[in-house]
Structure 1
Amino acid sequence: MDLYCMESMVEVKAAADPTSFNDDQVLTNLLTIEEHFRPRWWYSQQVQQDINAHMRSILAGWMLEKNHLQLLGAVCMFLAFKLKDTRPLSAERLCMYTENSISPNELLNWELVVLGKLKWDMAAVIPNDFVEHFVRRLPLPEDKLPMVRKHTQTFIELCIIDEELAMKRPSMIASSSMGAAICGLQLENHDQRLTRDNLTQRLAAITNAEVTCLRQCQEQIEHVLAVSLKKSAQAPAIIKTGEQQQHEDQDQGQSKSSTPTDVQDVNL
């Protein structure tokens, strides 16, 4: 199941049942399930080390079969809505969104295929599952919550596309990403409980993680961000007209974030 299609599901769930994020048992269950399935991602870097050019050409040829690729994406979205949304899409409506390039019967048949490949386990824990739990347990300013969520999500996406960080457990990725977001937004100026050391200790206590491991993971995420921003800065400049440059200069003061390393500029 595509992790990115789940990005907005946290907000949907929060709106539907906000009390669940204040329930310690829900968070405990997530941490328990995460530990149970740890070997699945812990050893995943050992999988498919022998991929060669021939295999890639086969994959590229399969991806050119647009109907199959779109059908698989539609099925994954269909399952994601069933799992997370309070009002899931119907098969007919989802097919309509594909301009009827697939039929409801195809969608339902492939749903069984995908579920079979997943061994009917769709409740895998992902970093996004923890974000709202952390938000409810940290002394964050109410007016900064949207920015904290946005920056945390950006850091999570950075982790997912980084080979080493992607091997971390979801709770570690989520807590380190939120720590990096809060530190980057300099929220310790609002509350001394949000200083780097205090924040790391709070998040470690929430997730039952080692403080040292959490601190190292956050530093690693911040390093990945710095490298990404450096690459973006070194990218060839786009030639702009005088009018475009003038508008950019005027907007710079309004859009510039107070974050020392601005996650809004990261190149994903």
Structure 2
Amino acid sequence: MDRGMSVSLWCEEVEDEQCQDQGQTEAPVHGHITGSPQLRAPWDPTVSGHRVIQRLLHVEERYMPSMLYVTLIQRDPERREELTKWALEVCCDCGCDEAVFPLSVSLLDRFLSASLSLPVSLYCLAAGCILIASKLTECDNVTADTLCAAAEYSFQPCNLREMERIILATLRWDTAAVTPQDFLPHFLASVEQRGAADTDECEEERLSTLRRHSDTLAAMCACDSRFLGAPPSLVAAASLNCALRGLGNKGPSQLAHMSEALAELCQTDLAVLQCYSEMIEYALRQRLRSGHQQGPMEKDEEVENERPGTPTDMRDIDF
């Protein structure tokens, strides 16, 4: 490498005039500039299994926030929950990949756990975590301008990039954290192999519904500070366990067998898994109750005729 070449590790975002003109002439879709569709690799069963799960279980402890931070947050959880809900809305509005939100929340908690001090703008901190998570998991990441607009320009792009540098420096660039969404496909594949899924023509659709509901429950847990100290593997197993019970197409003996399999996969006691599953269902009922108090949401006739896919209808969750 030429020693005279200037090399910077900072993730600079400098758009040329052509890109800016294109962004003005073409309407962005969910916060991304329109362009060629993204190509994603399909699920590869050869990179799953017991060995991969064991590796994830070994690594997840490295990215857990400190118990002091967990205790402080759980004493006054409203501020964190408000921040995570805003991050979830931004990720949804920008059409981010499903892995962006849980990773951004993990970065947020780890940063606050390491510093134990609040920055000037908490929304700038949350936006910086979303920006880093998007760069790690997406080909076309969400832009700084989009995040500033989502925060109604309470901070400028230069402030956001400076916050990004502070986060990276605090976390020592160790940003690829393990989240519940990393465990879900492996848990689902293992449970499927043990007979959780029937071999019929609706199998693929049912598995897709099961994964979608599990992702939604795991995202709800990321917003709820009561699950802050729980390992990602336990949150993933409990979310999948709730989704399995909510589909209503398995008997009690089959559900008990699947719960035992999930407890074995995440290396926890069955009673602990059942406890967290009940906590998730209770938190879900709380959110549905608060959503109904604020006012019922209008639904299309097609949605009204659909059968709920979880113990309580996932479509009614108001994050």
TM-score by length of 2: 0.58
1:210 corresponds in structure 2 to 269
1:102 corresponds in structure 2 to 157
The runs of 5 or more residues in structure 2 that have no matched partner are 1-37, 77-116, 150-155, 198-202
1:3 corresponds in structure 2 to none
Q: CA deviation at 1:206?
A: 1.1
Provide the C-alpha distance between the structure 2 equivalents of 1:13 and 1:31, rounded to a whole number of angstroms: 29
Q: Indicate which of 53, 63, 72 corresponds to 1:47.
A: 72
Provide the C-alpha distance between the structure 2 equivalents of 1:147 and 1:172, rounded to a whole number of angstroms: 20
Distance 1:14 1:138, change over 3 A: farther
Q: Which amino acid aligns with 1:114?
A: I
2:51 corresponds in structure 1 to 25
Q: CA deviation at 1:69?
A: 5.1
Mapped contact 1:14–1:21 kept (Cα < 8 A)? no
2:211 corresponds in structure 1 to 149
What is the total number of aligned residue pairs between the two structures? 227
1:127 corresponds in structure 2 to 180
Distance 1:25 1:233, change over 3 A: same
Provide the C-alpha distance between the structure 1 equivalents of 2:179 and 2:46, rounded to a whole number of angstroms: 17
Distance 1:172 1:25, change over 3 A: same
Mapped contact 1:148–1:181 kept (Cα < 8 A)? yes
Mapped contact 2:213–2:243 kept (Cα < 8 A)? yes
Provide the C-alpha distance between the structure 1 equivalents of 2:126 and 2:157, rounded to a whole number of angstroms: 11
Mapped contact 2:180–2:232 kept (Cα < 8 A)? yes
Provide the C-alpha distance between the structure 2 equivalents of 1:208 and 1:50, rounded to a whole number of angstroms: 29
Q: Which amino acid aligns with 1:224?
A: A
Q: Which amino acid aligns with 1:102?
A: P
2:136 matches 1:83: yes
Distance 1:78 1:259, change over 3 A: closer
Provide the C-alpha distance between the structure 2 equivalents of 1:205 and 1:264, rounded to a whole number of angstroms: 30
Q: Which amino acid aligns with 1:267?
A: D
Q: Which amino acid aligns with 1:94?
A: T
1:55 corresponds in structure 2 to none
> Sequence identity, in percent?
24
Mapped contact 2:281–2:311 kept (Cα < 8 A)? no
Q: CA deviation at 1:215?
A: 0.9
Q: CA deviation at 1:95?
A: 5.0
Distance 1:169 1:119, change over 3 A: same
The runs of 5 or more residues in structure 1 that have no matched partner are 1-11, 52-58, 239-243
2:285 matches 1:223: no
Provide the C-alpha distance between the structure 1 equivalents of 2:74 and 2:303, rounded to a whole number of angstroms: 45
2:228 counterpart SS class = helix
1:264 corresponds in structure 2 to 315
Mapped contact 1:14–1:132 kept (Cα < 8 A)? no
